[in-house]
Amino acid sequence: MSNTLKAYRAAILHSLADPAEVGVENSYQYFEDGVLLVDDGRVVEVGPAERLLPKLNGVEVREYRDALITPGFIDTHIHYPQTGMIASYGEQLLDWLDTYTFPTERQFADKAHAADVAGIFLKELLRNGTTTALVFGSVHKESVDAFFEAAEKLDLRMIAGKVLMDRNAPDYLTDTAESGYADSKELIERWHGKGRLHYAVTPRFAPTSTPEQLELAGKLFAEYPDLYMHTHLSENRKEIEWVKELFPERSGYLDVYDHYRLIGQRAVFAHGVHLCDDECRRLAETGSAVAFCPTSNLFLGSGLFDLEKLEQHGVRVGLGTDVGAGTSFSQLQSLNEAYKIMQLQGKKLDPFKSLYLATLGGARALYLDHRIGNFSTGKDADFVVLDYLATPLLAYRMQQARSLEERLFALTILGDDRVVKETFAAGRSVHLRG
């Protein structure tokens, strides 16, 4: 037996499939007293303690009481330069960008500043149990170098890209179609596929790129295998009207991206709050994904995401925080707000669907479900230990809970970073709660 084998014992829960496709009962696997075996950064096996423990001659077993081990959370949309402007007051999308976002992102021309914020940002993700994220940098290539350097040190599976933005933004924050293409290409050559890092071609959104820039972004997206495309889509009604004015020849917002070949597998569109049926169909048939960002949609007053509609069309949906418009790094808090968004539309969000969205669903949206998202043998050992007794109220609530479903639901409603006792990435502990 390998002497690097490690064993973790606790209640263990992971998703196996989308509850919308297989039904809730068949969507997960749960071991009340389970063991997760990890070797060389990968999952070896997960199963009941009574079966696995006798096989572990001399292997040290880390045991967690009153805890639940789940796969690490996956955040399919977030902006690292906006870490310091989270919780900024009172604007909707377009004014919010002008008032807060652009001045904040200006500072990322300075590599040392970018490195500081990248460190704070990654620490915050890990404190919240998020082990993979699809991340916006700023327009400066230095911002992406700083981010990837920090992520590489921790051996995290992360996706990021430099913002492309050559109009409708302050001069100090714009590139050009050509420089954006060249800088992105340089970053791709340096980082894409290095360790567990991936690159995303990242036009901020259609209004801030000229047709020439979108054309080159589409070219770049097609040039390298397994590259991502990451942008925003149909978040806010004023934004949608603006896109219509800027691109009168296109039939709608999504059609702008479609025209420039910024669609397809590994294309991830944040928000999609106001999509028509045709757009949902097009997203589904091209294998594109949408990032549902509950706390951000509520905070900016953007609207209520129609999860059921996208699901019915077969669109891949991941969960995003969208910090800094999002108000928490915690995907448990995203799920809390997601539940309320569904309630406001007379719909439900089953706790096992919530688990799926935050883990395997996110992995599917990112086409990384062969690597992360659950505890299938051979996948990356990215996981979290959640503490049922993290706060007095949670502990008291857990005493009343009679089922796993109830406990899981309470975790998503009452939980946040305090619940995350320990976070592991590629089998290494990367956060231990103080």
Interface contacts to Zn ion, rule CB under 5 A: 270, 322
ω before 23 within 30° of 0 (cis)?
no
- List Cβ<8 Å contacts ≥24 apart for 388-396: 388/66, 388/67, 388/68, 389/66, 390/415, 390/418, 390/419, 390/421, 391/418, 391/419, 394/419
Distance in Å, CB of 326 to Zn ion, minimum = 8
The residue (of 322 and 369) whose beta carbon lies closer to Zn ion is 322
Distance in Å, CB of 322 to Zn ion, minimum = 4
Distance in Å, CB of 297 to Zn ion, minimum = 11
Q: Which residue is nearest to Zn ion (CB)?
A: 322
Distance in Å, CB of 83 to Zn ion, minimum = 13
Distance in Å, CB of 164 to Zn ion, minimum = 14
Amino acid (1-letter code) at residue 234:
S
Distance in Å, CB of 82 to Zn ion, minimum = 8
Rounded to the nearest 5 degrees, what angle is found at the Cα of 357, between the Cα atoms of 262 and 271?
A: 40
The span from the CA of 137 to the CA of 335, in Å, is: 25
The residue (of 158 and 270) whose beta carbon lies closer to Zn ion is 270
> Does residue 67 contact residue 385 with C-beta atoms inside 8 Å?
yes
What phi, psi does 340 have (nearest 5°)?
A: -70, -35
The residue (of 134 and 154) whose beta carbon lies closer to Zn ion is 134
Distance in Å, CB of 95 to Zn ion, minimum = 15
Pull the structure tokens for residue 144: 């992406």
The residue (of 27 and 302) whose beta carbon lies closer to Zn ion is 302
The residue (of 153 and 238) whose beta carbon lies closer to Zn ion is 238
**CB crowding 73-89: b at 16 or more within 10 Å, else e:** bbbbbbbbbbbebbebe
The residue (of 15 and 128) whose beta carbon lies closer to Zn ion is 128
Q: How many CB atoms lie within 10 A of CB 397?
A: 18
The residue (of 236 and 336) whose beta carbon lies closer to Zn ion is 236
